Amino acid sequence: MADAQPLLSLLGVCKSFGGIQAVSSISFDVFSGECVGLVGPNGAGKTTLFNCVCGQLRPDIGDVRFDGTDLLDLPTFKRARLGIGRTYQKVEVFTDMSVRDHLLVAERARRGEGRLWRDLLNLSKPTTDEMNRVHATLELVGIARLADTSVNALGLGNCRLVELARALATEPKILLADEPSSGLDLHETAEVAAVLRTVQRERGTAILLVEHDLSMVAEVVDRAIVMDLGAMLAEGTFDEVMADQNVRDAYLGQMGAA
């Protein structure tokens, strides 16, 4: 928590769908370089909150600021260019595309649109520089050997890694990882956790991690926030929040009692 100025800050964000309050009055800050875990069951409003940050949804009330900019009126792609990267709970890979092409889309998108005239004049071939950066990101995530494979042929675990690499290729200041271990087994979960730690350490990327696998969260995060039914139950270090009585009652149940 080096900077005084938070990188991402949410102020009293509320969102409801057809009378059901999905997120009610959530406020917290994420500072640059830190890893914050957002813990809670399915339907606690974590993904809704992510969508409010990334621009797929607009909060009913509240404010979202990133790096000194008010995000509310910006479309998704502009927020992405400010430095917000994201992975998705239900994998959103590009069907039929190779892993390398996934990263090339990201690499180009970071610097604006595809210009039609450049394509037509055959000026848009990937440069060596771009290919090197893509390769470096693939190495970082550990899927360089899959670069030319089509994502159609990848398992869920590798698809999550592709998403992660794709988000990292935009060189984000903050990475929002939405349940990266959902549907993965212990081995694959460990792999994803390792990548997240490396990213935070080597690139200084801040991470906001949504997860319900508590053991993974414990391993990765500096700080944790527990959400349930759209509201914040507790905030603090992982051990602090797990010791919180509210969290034990509303979330952990048997596990908390044990």
Partner 1 sequence: MTTTADTGVDVATDDGGAVLSLQSVCAAYGPYRALFDVSFRVPPGGVLALVGSNGAGKSTVARTVTGLVTATSGKVVFAGNDVTGWPAYKIARLGMAHVVEGRGVFSSLTVEENLTLVFRQRQGRGKVASNLEKAYTAFPILGERRKQMAGTLSGGQQRLLSLAKVLVVPSKVLVADELSLGLAPVIVDQVYEGLREINRNGTALVVVEQQVHRVLELANWAVVLDHGSVSYEGKPSGASKAVEALMARREEAAATGAVEAVEATIQQEADT
Partner 2 sequence: MVQFLGFALPGVPYGCTYALVAVCLCLTYQATGVFNFAFGAQAFASAFVFTYLTQVHGWSGFPAFLVSVVVMGPVVGWAFDRFIFRHIPNSNSVAKMVCSLALLVGIPNLLPVFFGNQNLDATATIFPFFNPNTVYFTLWDTPINGIYLATISVTVVVLVLLTILLRYTSLGLQMRAAVESRRLVQLDGVNANRVVSLAWIVSSFMAALAGVLLASVYGAFTSNDYVILTVTAIAAAAWALLRSLPIAAGVAVLIGVTTTVLEGYISPNSIWNAAVVPSIPFVAIVVALLVLPGMRTLDSNRDPLATVDPPPPPIAAASRAPTMDRIIRPLWWVVFAGFCVSMLTWMQAPWTTVFNNGITISIVLLSITLITGMAGQLSLCQGTFAGIGAFTAAQVANHLGLNLFVGALVGAVLAAAVAIVFALLSLRLRGLGLALMTLAAALFFDATFFNETYLTGGQQGLPIQPKWLGTGVFFNSSGHAVFLVSLGTLIVAVIVVMMVRKGTVGRNLAAMRGSEIATAGLGVNPTWQRIVVFALSGAIAGIGGLLYSLQSQDVNAGNFNAQFSLVLVVLVVTTSVTTLEGAMQAGIGFFFLQQVLTEFLPKIGLGGVGASSLTVALFAFGALTYAAHPEGVLEFQKRRWNERFERLFFSGGSGELTGSTLSTRHANG
Interacting residues with partner 1 (CB under 8 A): 17-18, 20, 40-44, 145, 155-157, 179, 182-188, 191, 212, 228-229, 250-256
* Smallest distance from partner 2 to CB 236, Å: 30
* Smallest distance from partner 2 to CB 125, Å: 8
Residue from 119, 139, 240, 249 binding partner 2 (CB under 8 A):
119
43 binds partner 2 (CB under 8 A): no
* Smallest distance from partner 2 to CB 195, Å: 18
* Smallest distance from partner 2 to CB 245, Å: 37
- Long-range pairs of 186-191 with CB within 8 A, sequence gap ≥ 24: 188/156, 188/157, 188/160, 189/213, 189/216, 191/142, 191/157, 191/161
56 binds partner 2 (CB under 8 A): yes
Residue from 46, 86, 173, 223 binding partner 2 (CB under 8 A):
86
* Number of C-beta neighbours around residue 173 at 10 A: 19
Determine if residue 219 is left, alpha or beta; phi over 0 gives left, psi from -120 to 50 gives alpha, anything else beta. alpha
252 binds partner 2 (CB under 8 A): no
End-to-end CA distance of the chain: 33
- CA atoms of 215 and 192, how far apart (whole Å): 13
Look at residue 58 and give the partner it binds from partner 2, partner 1, none, a contact being a CB closer than 5 to 8 Å depending on partner kind.
none
Which of 84, 56, 44 has its CA nearest to residue 226? Answer: 44
CA angle 133, 165, 163 (to 5 degrees): 150
- Pairing verdict, β 35-39 and 206-211: parallel
109 binds partner 2 (CB under 8 A): yes
Of 42 and 69, CB closest to partner 1: 42
Look at residue 244 and give the partner it binds from partner 1, partner 2, none, a contact being a CB closer than 5 to 8 Å depending on partner kind.
none
Handedness of CA 107, 111, 113, 119 (dihedral sign): negative
In the stretch 137-156, what mask flags binding to partner 2 with x, by CB under 8 A? ---------------xxxxx
Residue from 88, 177, 230, 241 binding partner 2 (CB under 8 A):
88
Of 90 and 111, CB closest to partner 1: 90
Q: What is the DSSP string of 119-187?
A: HHTT--SPPHHHHHHHHHHHHHHT-GGGTTSBGGG--HHHHHHHHHHHHHHT--SEEEEESTTTT--HH
List residues binding partner 2 (CB under 8 A): 54-56, 75-78, 80-81, 85-86, 88, 91-97, 101-102, 104-106, 108-110, 112-116, 118-120, 122, 124, 152-156, 158-159, 163, 166-167, 170, 183
